Structure 1
Amino acid sequence: MSEPVNLNKFRKAKARVEKQTQAEANAAKFGRTKAEKDQQAQTVNNVVRLLDGHKLDTPKS
């Protein structure tokens, strides 16, 4: 006779696997690496610095 199986453990293990696959799909769809985030932040800082450097000061009347 085979060993009895705890159905609660089986159900929870199945739910964990499904949750992990969903998390991996979301990470691939929405996630960015730290290098990508740092590179975008650096680009934004460069653009802001460039625009601030070209700003014309108008005299107050």
Structure 2
Amino acid sequence: MAEIVNLNRARKTRARAVATEKAAANRAAHGRTKAERLRDAEEKARRDALLNGARLEHGPDKSGPG
């Protein structure tokens, strides 16, 4: 004989599993503290400043192509 399955219970169990996976993904994406976000923003600003400082700019008044 086949096992009797309550479809409502199976549907709710599946929905719970999907919600758990979605919650884990959201925690990974948004679960950082304010200090971590600020540290990352400062690090990105420092990297950008370093790259912009090393940028070579060629214009009509400078020698080089352009």
For the superposition of Structure 1 and Structure 2, which TM-score range results when normalised by the shorter chain?
Answer: 0.5 to 0.7
Give distance in 2, aligned partners of 1:3 and 1:21.
28
RMSD: 1.7
The TM-score with structure 1 as length reference comes to 0.52
Report 1:24-35 matches (<5 A).
24-32=24-32
Moved over 3 A (4+): none
Structure 1 counterpart of 2:6: 6
Gaps of 5+ in 1: 44-61
Gaps of 5+ in 2: 39-66
Identity %: 47
Structure 2 counterpart of 1:53: none
Give distance in 1, aligned partners of 2:31 and 2:24.
10
Q: Following TM superposition, by how much is the alpha carbon of 1:17 offset from its aligned partner in structure 2, in angstroms?
A: 0.2
More helix by share: 1
The TM-score with structure 2 as length reference comes to 0.49
